Amino acid sequence: MKLGNQEITWEQVRHILLWIALPLIIGVLIAAAVPKPVIGLIHLNDAIYSYSAQDMIAQINYAREHPEVRAVVLVMDSPGGTVADTEAVYLELLRLRQAKPIVTSVGSMAASGAYYLSVGSDYIFAKPTSEIGNIGVIGYLPPSPIIFEDIISTGPYKLWGSPRDTYVREMEMIKQGFYQAVRLGRGGRLEVGPETILRGQIWPGSEALRMGLIDALGAESDAVAKAAELARVGHYQAADLYDLAGVQSSSSAFFYQSPEGITMPYPKEPGLYLLYIPPLPVEK
């Protein structure tokens, strides 16, 4: 074979083609070895209590520790839950947010503690009729000190831990902490002040958008696309972190069950909650 005035053998051609193909082959092998960027999904379709919080924290930790997870979407449909468990998940979200973008997608509800978690994200989507807000605390107070003939205690509050007025002060402290989390998360996007926010009111998504409680109306797919945009990735896959993290879930009843076996919308134990409890129907 001739190339210009030079004679080239087929052996030389083979070597030239090999040198051209080799980088392409290496590139394909490297691309196959490098994990595709992942937008991780964390679903909350329950109240926030010990078991659901443990599941969420396990998924948050997985996202933080695995570099292929480039951003996280919280898929939220919850009335809230316990104070301690909500705060525990929120603090882990803030830690993750320092390294990776977090976007929230609200389904039918992000109320009370669920909204508390939502403000730990960079951006919040909801549907026009999603129920948003209920910012505040609800308490099932212990009874007044009473004497049990078959129980001996060393003080009037040994059984319950605190007098009732202490619970009221705690509620105010938790409410203010909730408000500060909203201010921190929403910042200058808030269009209303504390007198409106702290009413404990539920707003539809369209109204929450006007108030600055959320950023946009949209579906879960919009939240995934926004998370990818914030993470600056163009080619990615959305994956459920529950499966990737291999969470071994366990659960127990959070809500009260009546003697007839009917699940009621309020917790089974007394305490302080960041929880929306819908009004019960009035029996006639």
CA 112 – CA 125 distance, rounded (Å): 16
Tens place of pLDDT for every residue, the chain, 284 residues? 544 555 556 666 566 666 676 666 555 454 445 578 999 999 999 999 999 999 999 999 999 999 999 999 999 999 999 999 999 999 999 999 999 999 999 999 999 999 999 999 999 999 999 999 999 999 876 555 555 555 555 565 555 566 667 778 889 999 999 999 999 999 999 999 999 999 999 999 999 999 999 999 999 999 999 999 999 999 999 999 999 998 887 777 787 777 777 777 778 787 889 999 988 665 55
CA 104 – CA 117 distance, rounded (Å): 9
Task: Give the pLDDT confidence score for residue 31 in this predicted structure.
Answer: 47
Contact 276, 270 (CB under 8 A): no
∠ at Cα 116 (113, 117), nearest 5°?
Answer: 95
User: What b/e readout covers 94-125, taking b as 16+ CB neighbours within 10 angstroms?
Assistant: eebbeebbbbbbbbbbbbbbbbbbbbbbbbbb
CA 242 – CA 265 distance, rounded (Å): 26
Token output for 201: 């009111």
In SS3 terms, the chain reads as CEECCEECCHHHHHHHHHHHHHHHHHHHHHHHHCCCCEEEEEEECCCECHHHHHHHHHHHHHHHHCCCEEEEEEEEEECEEEHHHHHHHHHHHHHHHCCCCEEEEEEEEEECHHHHHHCCCCEEEECCCCEEECCCCEEECCCCCCCCCCCCCCCCCCCCCCCHHHHHHHHHHHHHHHHHHHHHHHHHHCCCCHHHHCCCCEEEHHHHHHHCCCCEECCHHHHHHHHHHHHCCCCCEEEEHHHHCCCCCCCCCCEEECCCCCEEEEECCCEEEEECCCCCCCCC
Q: Whole-prediction pTM value?
A: 0.82
Task: Give the pLDDT confidence score for residue 248 in this predicted structure.
Answer: 80
Domains, the chain, ranges and CATH?
A: 33-275 (3.90.226.10)
